[in-house]
Structure 1
Amino acid sequence: MSKNPDCIVFDDAAITRGDHVIWQHGTFSIPYGSVTAIVGTNGAGKTTMMKAELGLLPLSHGSVTVLGKPAGQANKRIGYVPQSYVSNVDSNLTAEQSVLLGLTGTRFGIHLVTREERDKARQAMEFTGIADKAQYRLSELSGGLRQRVAIAQALVSDPQLLMLDEPLANLDLASQRAAVHVLARLNKELGMTIQVVAHDLNMLLPIMTGAVYLLDGHPHYADMGKVLDSDLLTHLYGTQVQVVTTPQGDMFVTPTPDEPDTQMQDMHTATEVAQMHHHDHGSLHDRTAVDASAAGKDGK
């Protein structure tokens, strides 16, 4: 059998806990250079899936291959940011010390940090925009900055694959945008493959190339570059998806009853959004801008 060239490959994979099947019949491949989200309702097994890819949880059936090896065997080439990073890390460490842990893996005083390691840490902090916070203790930094410290710690060992579990949870809007911008740059400039566990796709949609979504105990994969499965957006957002263009890019939100009647809305069904995605982000942006300008004229 020829070797699958994709980054993450599931072959009829399943995970059970006791007698309970978390999910099963997972068969899909995620290409290198992609930005994918694992989405689904709470309890659907999103974090479980990421842990299975890291070899931290055994499969009850099938196989998972990551970076060409069975799950868990290529973890040195994976940068992982767990959900609990911000709360579990020692808040007395400085940002630089925290990032260096991604290289040394040991407490300080035991391991003498080399100049090369310090340079790597500096590069990772510069990339994530926290170089000026190197000597701050984590306890002095906001949640958004600590999340970027976590990403820098995962980056410092030059991984091929970056995996983040709910990286935007509990962050304010500006911090979410900053984190997504870092991920976008990692993908575009370094060609890094990125996978994110997420319960909300609004912020991630502009950079996503695909999604694994857990429905009814089965993982499904949708490639947004080819045909985004409109079931995905319908399932997550209901039948109508509102496209809002911001300076940061396109946002997809469901309308809320709190919006004033006068607020301009550019409404699309999930299928339309899928077709717009199919043509690329540029045309989506242009079309939204055109619709917005036409709506503005009509409103005068």
Structure 2
Amino acid sequence: MNDALSDTRANAIQVDHVTLELGDRAILDDATFTVRRGEFIGVLGPNGAGKTTLMRALLGLLPLSSGSIRVDGQAVVRGNPSIGYMPQIRSGLAGRRVRGRDFVAMAADGHHWGLPHASPAVRADVERVLDLVDAHALAARPLSELSGGERQRLLLAQCLLGKPKVLLLDEPLISLDPRHQTGVVDLVRRVQRELGITVLFSAHELNPLLNSLDRVLYLGKGRAALGTVDEVITKAVLSRLYGSPIDVMRVNGRIFVMSGDVEIDKLDHAHEEGDEGHEHEHEHDHEHDHAHGHKAKGKHTHNV
């Protein structure tokens, strides 16, 4: 009994025989896996495999067709303060004149799109997270003057408000050049190690994460494979997840997942997971609970 309780407390996320459906399609079909506390997990998979859908289920925003999910030992609930969440970000931030510090504080009040009235406690927490991501200089400048990588630094600061135990980062590398991608991954890894928190970091390509991740969660055809890079990024496993023959090539410390003569991320990830209701650079109405139990609603355009 005590051993079982100890095992539960050692796990950050437990997915047990979970089926997730969108319309008549099973995004996950009887998936079971466990993420341990303090792990950095890269979440990958073909277009429409369910990376965003899984994160929304962890946030309690999508009902499960069957099975159960526990986060930090507790059943999934909407607005879980243990989770920090960075949604897929699109156009809109680049033109905003709001200062970086005010932008970060907006997440604490749930007022992402209006200036906050921050309490002393919120202001102190904002300074704490700005220090964590080394963004005090950025905090004094408007978002419109910042690069994509610099804005991602402030978005990560938002996620850290309230001291979450789990971070869900949904495609934070989109639209960033390789140098900024490396900077974002290194920053997340440093903060993750410093705080001892768990990170699920979804991405279109494995290589930017290779030097930082502990294990890979690969989704495809309703299945989930979780393990080390050597265990998961293999011809046999990926062919099963893609439902077609896949080759894996290792060249100069990089890994290339190939379908015939075409690299998978070039073929399959030229656009966002449209089957899951998210597209690049277009306006959409949405409502979701932001990290730490705050709700934001409205029509936004996001792009970094």
2:105–2:116 contact (8 Å) kept in structure 1: no
**Counterpart of 1:50 in structure 2: which amino acid?**
M
Residue of structure 2 equivalent to 1:11: 16
Once the two structures are superposed, the pairs formed by residues 37-76 of structure 1 within 5 Å of their partners are 37-72=42-77, 75-76=80-81
**Counterpart of 1:161 in structure 2: which amino acid?**
V
Give the CA deviation at 1:36. Answer: 0.4
2:235–2:247 contact (8 Å) kept in structure 1: no
Pairing 1:240–2:249 present: yes
Residue of structure 2 equivalent to 1:228: 231
Change (3 A) 1:57 1:136: same
Q: Structure 1 CA distance, aligned partners of 2:234 and 2:219?
A: 12
Once the two structures are superposed, the pairs formed by residues 136-285 of structure 1 within 5 Å of their partners are 136-223=141-228, 228-231=231-234, 235=238, 238-244=247-253, 251-252=254-255
1:13–1:61 contact (8 Å) kept in structure 2: yes
Q: Which structure has the bigger radius of gyration?
A: 1
Q: Structure 2 CA distance, aligned partners of 1:211 and 1:107?
A: 32
Q: Structure 1 CA distance, aligned partners of 2:71 and 2:25?
A: 25
Pairing 1:78–2:83 present: yes
Give the CA deviation at 1:232. Answer: 7.1
Q: Specify which structure has the bigger relative contact order, considering alpha-carbon pairs within 8 angstroms and separated by 6 or more residues.
A: 2
SS at match of 1:144: helix
Q: Structure 2 CA distance, aligned partners of 1:55 and 1:232?
A: 34
Describe the superposition over 1:152-180 as per-residue Cα deviations: whole angstroms up to 9, x where unpaired. 11112211111100011110112111111
Change (3 A) 1:233 1:194: farther
2:89–2:172 contact (8 Å) kept in structure 1: no
After TM superposition, which residue ranges in structure 1, 4 or more long, deviate above 6 angstroms?
Answer: 107-110
Q: Structure 2 CA distance, aligned partners of 1:93 and 1:101?
A: 10
Residue of structure 2 equivalent to 1:101: 106
**Counterpart of 2:231 in structure 1: which amino acid?**
L
- TM-score, with normalisation over the residues of structure 2? 0.73
Residue of structure 2 equivalent to 1:295: none
1:243–1:253 contact (8 Å) kept in structure 2: no
Gaps of 5+ in 2: 240-245, 262-304
Pairing 1:113–2:118 present: yes
SS at match of 1:200: coil
Q: Structure 2 CA distance, aligned partners of 1:108 and 1:26?
A: 37
Describe the superposition over 1:45-81 as per-residue Cα deviations: whole angstroms up to 9, x where unpaired. 1110111111111111111111111122562121100
SS at match of 1:37: strand
Give the CA deviation at 1:229. Answer: 3.0
How many residues are aligned here? 248
2:99–2:142 contact (8 Å) kept in structure 1: yes
**Counterpart of 2:42 in structure 1: which amino acid?**
A
Change (3 A) 1:9 1:96: same
Q: Structure 1 CA distance, aligned partners of 2:54 and 2:17?
A: 13
